[in-house]
Chains A and B, each alone.
Chain A
Amino acid sequence: MNLNTFYLAMAGLILAPLLGALVAVVDRVITARLQSRMGPPLLQPFFDVGKLWSKVIAPASHWQGLFVRWALVASLASDVLLAAGGDVLMCFFVQAASASFVALGAFCGNSPYGKLGAQRELFQLLAYEPVFMVAILCMAKASGGFDAFSFMAAQGPLLFKMPLLVPGLLFVVLVKLRKSPFDIAASHHMHQEVVRGVYTDYAGRDFALLEIAHWADVTVVLWICSFLWATGPLQMLATGLAFLFAALVIDNISARLTWRTMLGRAAPLTLILATANLVWLYLE
């Protein structure tokens, strides 16, 4: 590992969660503007995490603290891997581990809502992970390598070689950002039929760490989406923002679906499209 890789990894470790926080506030302000409201101030996500950090509350289970910390480490590791130009497939697996730790922690608690949310989190993993993996395989096939630098060094925008990935990646963004119609395990908004879903039992400092892990996850997902047009940093930023805005608009105009619809319709449809694109790339 040379010094440049180390600097890139450190930048990923520090800047990626900050970018995720920026996404969180952009999300809340734009949602508010779409609803003719003003929305919170720019520093609101940091105030929320600071407030949660200073709260004194006993954990629902002693295992939860451990799982939260593992989830945070896994999420930050996926950021570091991506920033340092590591294997994107490995980054994807590490990020999946983070989501699993969140679900495992919720299973340790006492709340039936938390356990229901944890089951739904596993269903979500089952729904979006295959689509996400096929999308990364498509990008790797088109760019000739699995590392992030190869994706970014691809000749021309990858989007033209893989248009059928767009619905699949949008599905992944909606699930990971916890947006309607796929905010099934836990809604990004604070009200849901299962209270706060998978997050119900987490509180205080553990919840603050989970929020930081969520910021890191959001950055990774939008970053991978931005590889579709990775001809330059600005183009990547614009692609990531396009996915974010699409997710926000869909969130504001749709109601929550059930996990059955997600697993039975949305996931197979997007997976078929993504696989068709992969087969097309191999046949080309």
Chain B
Amino acid sequence: MFGSFLKTSQVKSPWLMHFDCGSCNGCDIETLACLTPVYDVERFGIINVGNPRHADVLVVTGTVNQRNAVILKNLYDQMPSPKLVIAIGACGCSGGVFREAPNVLGGVDKVIPVDVYVPGCPAKPEAIMDAVVTGLGKLKGILEASK
């Protein structure tokens, strides 16, 4: 019973860390809009944290380049398992219009494994919330498979 409560807890309490990997701020504004009274993600138990050691979900916006790839990897490594990564926007998914730039590596998945991709330029808050719910569904599947 205690084990099943712990598994439920992992799905019911996703603490989210947002990392701007070189975004134009469009997707960042939409991500933070999820916390406002209009969308209120706290009703799903979601909290926006600033510390990777406390985070369960890493939300990344913007393209990955040579300089911020190290920081992105470092943040990911500091997060405790099990963890989810969500790439937000066209830039986060694939590098977007910047993908051919000489310093750009591409999307987030060039550096760390991504669980959910959210397309859009910028991505809508509804799509971001849907991505978190999809990610949690994936996590639930993994936890149930590990029984």
> Which parts of A168-220 form the interface with B (CB within 8 Å)?
190-192, 195-196, 199-204, 207
- Asked if A150 lies at the interface with its beta carbon under 8 angstroms from chain B, I say no
Interface residues, chain B, CB within 8 Å of chain A?
A: 5-10, 12-13, 15, 37, 40, 42-45, 47-51, 53-54, 56, 80-81
Contacting pair B80 A40 (CB below 8 A):
no
User: With contacts A28-B42, A37-B42, A40-B43 known, what are 13 further pairs, Cβ within 8 A?
Assistant: A44-B13, A47-B8, A48-B9, A50-B6, A50-B10, A50-B13, A54-B7, A190-B47, A190-B49, A190-B50, A192-B50, A200-B51, A203-B53
In the complex, A56 Cα to B6 Cα: how many Å? Answer: 13
Q: Which residues of B lie under 8 Å from residue A43 when comparing CB positions? A: 12
Interface residues, chain A, CB within 8 Å of chain B?
A: 28, 32, 35-41, 43-44, 46-51, 53-57, 60, 190-192, 195-196, 199-204, 207
Q: Which residues of B lie under 8 Å from residue A38 when comparing CB positions? A: 40, 42-43
Query: A32 touches which one: B42, B48, B51 (CB < 8 A)?
Result: B42
Chain B residue nearest in CB terms to A44: B45
In the complex, A36 Cα to B7 Cα: how many Å? Answer: 31
21 inter-chain pairs at a CB distance below 8 angstroms, sorted by A residue, are A28-B42, A32-B40, A38-B43, A40-B44, A43-B12, A44-B12, A44-B13, A46-B9, A48-B45, A50-B6, A50-B8, A53-B9, A56-B80, A190-B15, A190-B50, A191-B48, A191-B49, A196-B51, A201-B53, A203-B53, A203-B54
In the complex, A55 Cα to B45 Cα: how many Å? Answer: 17
Chain A residue nearest in CB terms to B14: A51
Q: Which residues of B lie under 8 Å from residue A46 when comparing CB positions? A: 9
Contacting pair B42 A204 (CB below 8 A):
no
Chain A residue nearest in CB terms to B52: A203
Contacting pair A56 B81 (CB below 8 A):
yes
Q: Which 7 A-B pairs have the closest CB atoms?
A: A50-B9, A57-B80, A203-B53, A51-B13, A47-B12, A55-B80, A54-B6
> Which of B6, B15, B48 gathers most chain A CB within 10 Å?
B6
Contacting pair A47 B80 (CB below 8 A):
no
Contacting pair A36 B37 (CB below 8 A):
yes
CB distance from B136 to the nearest CB of A (A): 11
Interface of A is mostly: loop
Contacting pair B51 A195 (CB below 8 A):
yes
CB distance from B3 to the nearest CB of A (A): 9
Contacting pair A196 B49 (CB below 8 A):
yes
Q: Which residues of B lie under 8 Å from residue A201 when comparing CB positions? A: 53
Q: Which residues of B lie under 8 Å from residue A191 when comparing CB positions? A: 48-50
CB distance from B19 to the nearest CB of A (A): 14
Q: Which residues of B lie under 8 Å from residue A35 when comparing CB positions? A: 37
Chain A residue nearest in CB terms to B43: A38
Contacting pair A207 B54 (CB below 8 A):
yes
Contacting pair A41 B40 (CB below 8 A):
no
Q: Which residues of B lie under 8 Å from residue A200 when comparing CB positions? A: 51, 53
Contacting pair B37 A54 (CB below 8 A):
no
Q: Which residues of B lie under 8 Å from residue A48 when comparing CB positions? A: 9, 13, 45
> Which of A48, A53, A55, A56 gathers most chain B CB within 10 Å?
A55
Q: Which residues of A lie under 8 Å from residue B56 when comparing CB positions? A: 51, 55
Contacting pair A196 B42 (CB below 8 A):
no
A50-B5, A50-B6, A50-B9 known; A57 vs B53 contact (CB < 8 Å): yes
In the complex, A43 Cα to B45 Cα: how many Å? Answer: 10
A36-B37, A203-B54 known; A47 vs B13 contact (CB < 8 Å): yes
Q: Which residues of A lie under 8 Å from residue B8 when comparing CB positions? A: 47, 50
Q: Which residues of A lie under 8 Å from residue B50 when comparing CB positions? A: 190-192, 195-196
Q: Which residues of B lie under 8 Å from residue A56 when comparing CB positions? A: 80-81
In the complex, A122 Cα to B108 Cα: how many Å? Answer: 41
CB distance from A159 to the nearest CB of B (A): 35
In the complex, A56 Cα to B83 Cα: how many Å? Answer: 10
Contacting pair A203 B80 (CB below 8 A):
yes
> Which of A47, A191, A207 gathers most chain B CB within 10 Å?
A47
